[in-house]
Amino acid sequence: MPHLRKWVVVNRAADANLLEYLSQQGGPGVRQALELVLESLELQRSSMQRRRTS
């Protein structure tokens, strides 16, 4: 069901292999959901790095 793929992308239990598969399959909102997840991960990583250097 392509219209549900975006919800799988934002599920914290989705692993890298599943995200890769979904990115290849596409579907409504998948690209945007992936962008949001990756942006969120980058923000978390940046925040953790700042804490370590403080």
pLDDT value of position 44: 92
pLDDT value of position 50: 87
Average pLDDT over residues 37-52: 91
Tokens 């549900």, located at residue: 4
pLDDT value of position 54: 73
pLDDT value of position 53: 84
22 C-beta neighbours (distance < 10 Å), count = 20
* Distance (Å) of CA 52 to CA 18, 19, 44, 45, 46: 31, 29, 13, 11, 10
SS3 37: helix
**Model pTM?**
0.78
pLDDT band at 9 (very low <50, low <70, confident <90, very high): very high
pLDDT value of position 14: 94
Average pLDDT over residues 12-27: 95
